[in-house]
Structure formats: structure tokens, C-alpha cells
Amino acid sequence: MRLPWDITDHSHDPADIVARIRTPKPQGGLSDIVYGGIDGSVASFVIVFGMAGAGLSPFVIIALKTANVLANGFSMAASNYSSTKSKADNTARVRAI
């Protein structure tokens, strides 16, 4: 059983290095949820309060917020895909060495 603070995580022994490279680390979605939640809530407040401060009608505010949610969701999905793909490509490159 490997503990999170296992000494082989910092060992420079060739066998430990090979074991670290060949053992994939678990990918969690918690960071995506946290970053997305923070980004989404900040963007929501900025848009709603900015538009309300400009004196726009509630219908326009809701329409702009809906457009922002769709664009923000697409942007986060595309950046998450790019990040995940680059991590997988880099892992495959290192394992091939």
C-alpha cells in the first residue's frame, strides 16, 4: 500500500522513477468544480451589477447573462479539454522515453 507521502515519491532511484512514470495519478474533478464555480460567480456578479448600474432593463440583463453563461461554459470546456489533452500527451511522451 502506498501512502500519499511515500518516500518513493521523492526518490531518485531509477526503479522508483520508472514506477512513478508508469503509475498514472488519479484525475479528480474537484479543481474544475472549484475554479469554475469561482469564475462563474465572479462573472455573474460583475455582469449583473454592471448592467443594473448602467440602467438597463431586467430583460436585457437576463439576455446578456444568458449569453455570458453559454460563452463562459464553452470557454471553460475548451480550456479543460486542451489542458487534459496536453497532460495526457506529455505523460505519453515521458513514458516513451
Percent of the chain with pLDDT over 70: 86
Residue range 86-95: average pLDDT? 84
C-alpha grid cell, residue 69: 453563461
**Residue 97 and residue 83: Cα distance in Å, rounded?**
22
Which is it for the CA torsion 36, 38, 41, 44, positive or negative? negative
Q: What are phi and psi of 77, to 5 degrees?
A: -65, -45
Lowest mean pLDDT among 15-29, 41-55, 62-76: 15-29
% helix, strand, coil for the chain, step of 5 = 75, 0, 25
Mean pLDDT in the chain? 78
Give 5's pLDDT tier (boundaries 50, 70, 90).
low
Alpha carbon distance 76, 9 (integer Å): 31
